[in-house]
Amino acid sequence: MVSVTKRIEQIKQPRGGYIPIKSFSSKELTSSNELKPSENIPPNLIGITVDYLTRLMLNPAEGAQEAFNISLIGANRANKLMIAKTLVGQIHDLDDESITAAINLVKYDSVLRSGFIPEDTMLVPNEDTLFNVKEMVTRSLNFFDEYGPITLDSFTFLGGYSDKITSGDGDFLTADTLWDFKVLKANIKPQHTLQLLVYYLMGTNSIHDEFQSLKKLGIFNPRLNTVYSLEIETIPQEVIMAVSKDVIGY
């Protein structure tokens, strides 16, 4: 199986990228709190934790089991489902216990995404990490207050996959925008903008009718509290054709 991210790693993009960073407008949102400097958890785990806790807080009625579904599937494949179920039972809110359990649960995403089975050792986030995760989830919720509501989330691209890309899932749709969450310490890069375009093109070929009415592509980075957006109609047709053929394989 080849995921969207794995496929993009294989691609040598034109100079500046298929969609140059400068094509996106950016806007920094206001926040009352600065992030703390000394996290002790790997950035990739923090990013997934912020993503899934945001989903939980947006849809509390669905519960942590739904928000952390990919982690649970990964844990099951690694024969760690009992550990994972204990962790998911500890996730209720944005308190320290919930954040700690979430960080340890999202370790199992790697089983599903790359086949890597993590160690059973429990990670213990320090105070800065706990503060930052809570703040970034709060920023994400504030983002959706301004740019929402969500029309579709945690979606796959059934009907849109190809011989070159056989898996991958997107983050969020609002009425007119496809959104990808990136918890990054620096500015977005060409691989991020290409990933977003691939998601859009696969989405328009998928079973999800919601993609047909989209007008924009967007990235939100809760670490920098910055929104990046691009009008789809400004993307050159030759770029869309090249990515469709050479990257996705349509």
Instruction: Say if residue 24's pLDDT is above 90.
Output: yes
Q: What is the pLDDT of residue 112?
A: 66
Residues 6+ apart with CB under 8 A from 192: 180, 182, 219
For residue 62 the two structure tokens come to: 């669905």
Model pLDDT for residues 179-214, shown as the tens digit of each residue: 999 999 999 999 999 999 999 999 999 999 999 999
Give the C-alpha separation, 168 to 55, whole Å. 18
Mean residue pLDDT of the chain comes to 94
Q: Nearest Cα to 234, choosing from 216, 214, 211?
A: 216
Give per-residue burial for 225-247: e unless 16+ CB within 10 Å, then b.
bbbbbbebeebeeebbeebbeeb
Model pLDDT for residues 71-123, shown as the tens digit of each residue: 999 999 989 999 999 999 999 999 999 999 999 999 998 876 665 676 788 99
Sequence spans of domains, the chain: 1-34+148-250, 41-125
Q: Nearest Cα to 196, choosing from 213, 173, 212?
A: 173
pTM for the structure as a whole: 0.92
Instruction: Say if residue 250's pLDDT is above 80.
Output: yes
Helix 69-77 × helix 81-88 angle, to 10°:
160
Helix 96-105 × helix 43-58 angle, to 10°:
120
Q: What is the pLDDT of residue 142?
A: 96
